[in-house]
Amino acid sequence: MTAASTSPNTPAGAGKTERTVTGATIRLDGVVKQYKGTDAPAVEKLDLQLDAGDIVAFVGPSGCGKTTTLKMINRLIEPTQGRIYIGDRDVTGENPDKLRQSIGYVIQSGGLFPHWSVSKNIGALPRVLGWDKKKIADRTEYLLDLVGLDAATFADRLPKDMSGGQQQRVGVARALAADPPVLLMDEPFGAVDPITRVRLQDSLIAIQHELGKTIAIVTHDFEEATKLGDKVCIFSEGGHVEQFAAPEEILANPATPFVEEFVGSGATLAHLTLSRVKDVNHNPVLTARVGQSSTEVINQARAEGHTWVVVVNEDGTPRAWPSLDELKTKDAVSDYVDRRLPTVAQSATLNDALDSMLAASQGGVLVTDGRGAVKGALTIAVVMDVIRGQLADARSDEAQTSYANYQDGSGEPADPTSAS
């Protein structure tokens, strides 16, 4: 079930090409949940298949049954009827504690044990499974690196001494500790600020590209759903599936009036969330290291037509982006770190890139790979060009009477072929 294979499909969404899949298919077959003492089921007869290696985002109005559906997969909530399969296993009758050892679970704010260090939190399930100390320590280090935290700095910290975003990263590392094929995430990024949220989303996409788990994620945010989801499942009351499709398909062809209304007037802008930083041209940058001769760097930058450079660490992560005039003030490239440097991952959307520029009051943003190394820069002019193009396309699709072709009083567009 966890053998590596290559997905035969290349679904849209998080920008997939050929990739490793270690996840398992999740299948809900006629699943019903009726809570005791309620008149109507919270989830009525749900049939749903989440393909191995996909991220599936559950969205819909409050109370429609998203969380109930998610928690039935790991049996934190017991279905009233129906069967649930993970891979070939019918898990409906399995011991729930055992089942949960093979399903990662991430909740808002990470849900860490507050009095345990980061490494103790991550090693919790491996210890229950009887792994030896060395294997647990190696796995912890690997996972901290995977979620973008330095093991030497964070392994012994208590959750209270970390930011919300860092705690959430540890929450993801802990959920992946025993290498489960399935990861369930319940509003994982609901409690962090918007910039941290974008970083965590990009991190999840990078992790998913590396691991290929099957991930179900509940979110209130349609934009987040379209960014993360290979497929988005839009629920209405009673766990009724209004549409289950790739985000592009939902935006282009809403299946029901409910979906149309849910997606709403934000649909045009939501298209922006489907354009990724990696899909638009970004400019090359010249990188420099601390201690390099400023004259040398300036000469090279001039020869290549740059007016500024990016000072990077050994691993390629950026420290600062001084102009050539700033470089000139010192003999060697300084070790200054600019804490407000705007960066976006290649998997980020153009919306994210714009947010990042606006938050830093800059006309550009550095583009980084999954591990944070600088790959180039994106300017506001490039983003605006793409937005203009998309808005023009969206408008021409709307086939409405426009200012230019309106004929007085008729309410109809003028016939462009008739002479008047």
Ligand X SMILES: Nc1ncnc2c1ncn2[C@@H]1O[C@H](COP(=O)(O)OP(=O)(O)OP(=O)(O)O)[C@@H](O)[C@H]1O
- Residues found near ligand X in the complex (CB under 6 A): 35, 38, 42, 60, 62-68, 220
Angle at 122 between CA 119 and CA 128, to 5 degrees: 110
Of 370, 378, 352, 276, residue with least CA distance to 13: 276
Instruction: Count other Cβ atoms within 10 Å, centred on residue 163.
Output: 11
Residue 47 vs 415, nearer CB to ligand X: 47
Residue 35 vs 113, nearer CB to ligand X: 35
- Cβ 321 to ligand X, closest distance in Å? 41
Residue 65 vs 318, nearer CB to ligand X: 65
What is the C-alpha R_g of the chain?
25
- Cβ 57 to ligand X, closest distance in Å? 13
DSSP assigned state of 231: E
**94-118 CB burial, b ≥16 within 10 A, e <16:** eeeeebbebbbbbbbbbbbeeeebb
DSSP assigned state of 323: B
CA 136 – CA 139 distance, rounded (Å): 5
- Cβ 235 to ligand X, closest distance in Å? 7
Decide if 413 contacts 406 (C-beta within 8 A): yes
- Cβ 46 to ligand X, closest distance in Å? 11
- Cβ 190 to ligand X, closest distance in Å? 10
Residue 89 vs 220, nearer CB to ligand X: 220
Residue 36 vs 339, nearer CB to ligand X: 36
Supply 190's token pair. Answer: 């609901």
* Helix (DSSP H) and strand (DSSP E) numbers for the chain: 16, 18
Longest distance between any two alpha carbons in the chain, whole Å: 86
The CA dihedral of 89, 98, 204, 8, to the nearest 10 degrees, is -20
Residue 232 vs 311, nearer CB to ligand X: 232
- Cβ 231 to ligand X, closest distance in Å? 18
- Cβ 242 to ligand X, closest distance in Å? 13
Residue 77 vs 151, nearer CB to ligand X: 77
Residue with tokens 């790739």: 246
